[in-house]
């Protein structure tokens, strides 16, 4: 069992979810409530990582983050370290490729809130922030929880993009999914089997807990 | 409603607490210099690094892969301190473009072998005569080499198969490893009848327990001149490791893994 890789994976997944919570709520809510021209294009952009092969996506991220790109150069100038092959670069890539997993369930959850309820709250003089905190978030909570768990589990499992943008550096960008690949090449089948089993059990457990939690919350609200 | 609100707040609190723990851990991340090494060194260099740690108390972090990929990653800013390439051309290219401290130094000349897993119908025949027969009589289904596009051992395997005159005939049977260690894994997994891999990997206990090997004549391919180099900005620990690799304890390990060392003759 590669504990360094496991901790790195958990850190990456935890920070990804933390960053995606506000982004997902803002973007999901925007897509749910705002009527505007070209919304389909924005939705398609968010969904893109679902359909694009990870290597294609990884290639574009590598080019966009690279030392020759404007973003890569600006990052190097600001923080005196490159963006590719670093944890920060991996985190940024992770937030981007997890967008559909976070935004889509949140958007559906906000869409499911009855418009009358939001109108009534506004009529009662509640500020938009209070409507969000008191009405929308509590009602959308199962969808938000599902979104965060999906993004977390997906980060643990992502391989192609992580390998291309991260370069499999131990303690920096070598996640547990990459460590399994590495162990197989080292003829260390035992460690590979242990880590694969861990990921299997962990994934199954998180999904089961989400289903359980969202059903309970749903029943209480119903 | 308030019950839900409390749940939301409690959930967020738990996430924040978990992240605080994670961030504290991230601050303690290792800062040992990174060494990018050709996949044929996986077992030899791991031994040397372990010895280096015992002798000096300093540690390095090893990453194994194909030399071509590492060269590309170094150009894109990968934070490696030392690069051990299976093909010196990659080192000279990087040196010319200013990515390295100097032109580095030769650390060994690699050899390729035919590897045949236990139970395979192939004979352990380094002249590849039996391999040529196996293509014709249907014994061969799958044969593993490293990707000739960016893995030096794959390139040399292709050259040897061309020298033997069976490259076109064997192509439909080939499976390509991303690097030579993956090719060795493919060749010995029981899903292929054999492969051409690095001598250094074939001599490892892990591989020897799974497969036999036979040296392929060195004259059938360009020599695998393997060169190592310090990359720009390599620190003192990297310098020490680079020096250590040229000293006798490290040289003895390279020799044991079948490398021909600089200044020593090739033996068949």
Beta strands in chain B (DSSP E): 34-38, 61-65, 82-85, 105-110, 112-117, 143-146, 174-177, 194-198, 211-215, 224-230
Minimal Cα distance from A164: which residue of B?
Answer: B73
Are B4 and A219 within 8 A, CB to CB? no
Residue B28 is predicted with a pLDDT of: 35
Q: How confident is the model at residue B8 (pLDDT cuts 50, 70, 90)?
A: low
From residue B154, how far is each of A60, B44, B147, B183 by CA, in Å? 27, 19, 5, 9
> Distance between CA atoms of A124 and A113, rounded to whole angstroms?
17
Are B144 and B183 within 8 A, CB to CB? yes
Residue B141 is predicted with a pLDDT of: 95
Strands across the sheet containing B224-230 = B61-65, B34-38, B82-85, B224-230, B105-110
Strands across the sheet containing B112-117 = B174-177, B143-146, B194-198, B112-117, B211-215
ipTM of the prediction: 0.74
Look at A185 and B11 and tell me if their CB atoms are within 8 Å. Answer: no
Look at A85 and B79 and tell me if their CB atoms are within 8 Å. Answer: yes
Average confidence score pLDDT of chain B: 89
Q: Determine, yes or no, domain membership for B204.
A: yes
Q: Determine, yes or no, domain membership for B9.
A: no
Contacts of A76 in chain B (CB under 8 A): 77
Contacts of A217 in chain B (CB under 8 A): 4, 7
Least confident of A80-89, B3-12, B256-265: B3-12
Average pLDDT over residues A162-178: 89
DSSP letters for B184-230: HHHHHSSSSSEEEEEHHHHTSHHHHTTEEEEEPPGGGS--EEEEEEE
pLDDT per position as a tens digit, A23-62:
999 999 999 998 888 899 999 999 999 999 988 998 899 8
> Distance between CA atoms of A159 and A181, rounded to whole angstroms?
9
Contacts of B181 in chain A (CB under 8 A): 185-186
Q: Nearest by CB to B42, which of A18, A186, A221?
A: A186
> B209: distance to nearest CA of chain A, Å?
11
Would you say residue B266 has pLDDT above 90?
Answer: no
> Distance between CA atoms of A185 and A181, rounded to whole angstroms?
7
Minimal Cα distance from A133: which residue of B?
Answer: B5
Residue B234 is predicted with a pLDDT of: 92
Are B125 and B258 within 8 A, CB to CB? no
% chain A with pLDDT above 90: 55
| Three-state secondary structure call for residue B108 | strand
Contacts of A67 in chain B (CB under 8 A): 75-77
Look at B77 and A17 and tell me if their CB atoms are within 8 Å. Answer: no
Q: Determine, yes or no, domain membership for B118.
A: yes
Would you say residue B225 has pLDDT above 80?
Answer: yes
Task: Give me the number of domains chain A comprises.
Answer: 1
Q: Determine, yes or no, domain membership for B232.
A: no
Domain enclosing residue B185, as ranges = 110-220
CATH of the domain at A195: 1.10.3720.10
| Predicted model pTM | 0.81
Would you say residue B29 has pLDDT above 80?
Answer: no
Minimal Cα distance from A217: which residue of B?
Answer: B4
Burial degree of B249 (CB within 10 A; 0-12, 13-18, 19+)? middle
Would you say residue B27 has pLDDT above 50?
Answer: no
Would you say residue B3 has pLDDT above 60?
Answer: no
Domain enclosing residue A128, as ranges = 3-221
Q: Determine, yes or no, domain membership for B100.
A: no
Residue B15 is predicted with a pLDDT of: 53
Give residue ranges of B with CB < 8 Å to any A CB: 1, 3-5, 7-8, 11, 15, 18-19, 22-23, 25-26, 29-30, 34, 39, 42, 61-65, 73, 75-79, 179, 181-182, 185, 204, 206-207, 210
pLDDT per position as a tens digit, A72-115:
999 989 988 888 889 999 999 999 999 999 999 999 999 999 98
CATH of the domain at B141: 3.40.190.10
Q: Determine, yes or no, domain membership for B114.
A: yes
Q: How confident is the model at residue A67 (pLDDT cuts 50, 70, 90)?
A: confident
Look at B11 and A184 and tell me if their CB atoms are within 8 Å. Answer: no
Task: Give me the number of domains chain B comprises.
Answer: 1
């Amino acid at each position: 069992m590669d504990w360094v890789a496991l901790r790195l994976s958990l850190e990456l997944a935890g920070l990804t979810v933390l960053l995606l919570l506000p982004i997902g709520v803002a973007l999901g809510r925007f897509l749910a409530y705002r009527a505007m021209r070209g919304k389909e294009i924005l939705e398609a952009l968010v969904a893109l990582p679902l359909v694009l092969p990870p290597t294609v996506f990884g290639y574009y991220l590598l080019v966009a983050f690279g030392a020759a790109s404007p973003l890569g150069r600006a990052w190097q100038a600001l923080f005196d370290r490159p963006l590719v092959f670093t944890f920060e670069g991996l985190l940024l890539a992770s937030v981007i490729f997890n967008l559909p997993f976070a935004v889509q369930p949140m958007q559906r959850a906000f869409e499911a809130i009855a418009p009358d309820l939001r109108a009534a709250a506004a009529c009662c003089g509640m500020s938009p922030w209070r409507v969000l905190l008191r009405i929308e978030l509590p009602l959308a909570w199962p969808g938000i929880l599902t979104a965060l768990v999906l993004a977390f589990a997906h980060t643990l499992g992502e391989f192609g993009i992580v390998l291309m943008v991260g370069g499999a550096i131990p303690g920096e960008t070598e996640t547990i999914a990459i460590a399994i690949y590495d162990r197989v090449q080292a003829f260390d089948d035992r460690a590979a089997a242990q880590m694969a089993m861990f990921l299997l059990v962990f994934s199954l457990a998180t999904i089961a807990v989400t289903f359980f939690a969202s059903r309970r919350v749903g029943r209480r609200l119903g | 409603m308030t019950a839900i609100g409390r749940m939301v707040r409690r959930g967020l609190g738990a996430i924040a607490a978990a992240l605080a723990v994670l961030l504290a851990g991230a601050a303690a991340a290792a800062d040992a210099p990174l060494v990018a090494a050709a996949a044929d060194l996986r077992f030899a260099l791991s031994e040397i690094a372990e010895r280096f740690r015992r002798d000096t108390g300093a540690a390095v972090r090893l990453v194994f892969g194909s030399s071509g990929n590492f060269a590309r990653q170094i150009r894109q800013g990968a934070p490696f301190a030392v690069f051990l390439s299976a093909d010196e051309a990659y080192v000279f290219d990087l040196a010319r473009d200013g990515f390295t401290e100097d032109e580095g130094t030769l650390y060994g000349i690699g050899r390729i072998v035919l590897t045949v897993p236990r139970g395979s119908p192939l004979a352990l025949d380094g002249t590849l005569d039996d391999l040529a027969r196996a293509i014709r009589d249907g014994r061969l289904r799958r044969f593993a080499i490293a990707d000739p596009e960016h893995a030096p051992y794959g390139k040399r395997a292709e050259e040897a198969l061309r020298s033997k005159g069976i490259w076109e005939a064997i192509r439909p049977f080939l499976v390509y490893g991303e690097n030579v260690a993956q090719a060795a894994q493919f060749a010995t997994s029981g899903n292929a009848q054999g492969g051409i891999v690095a001598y250094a990997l074939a001599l490892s206990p892990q591989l020897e327990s799974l497969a036999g090997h036979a040296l392929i004549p060195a004259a059938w391919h360009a020599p695998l001149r393997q060169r190592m180099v310090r990359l720009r900005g390599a620190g003192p620990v990297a310098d020490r490791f680079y020096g250590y690799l040229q000293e006798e304890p490290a040289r003895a390990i390279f020799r044991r893994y079948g490398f021909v060392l600089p200044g020593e003759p090739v033996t068949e």
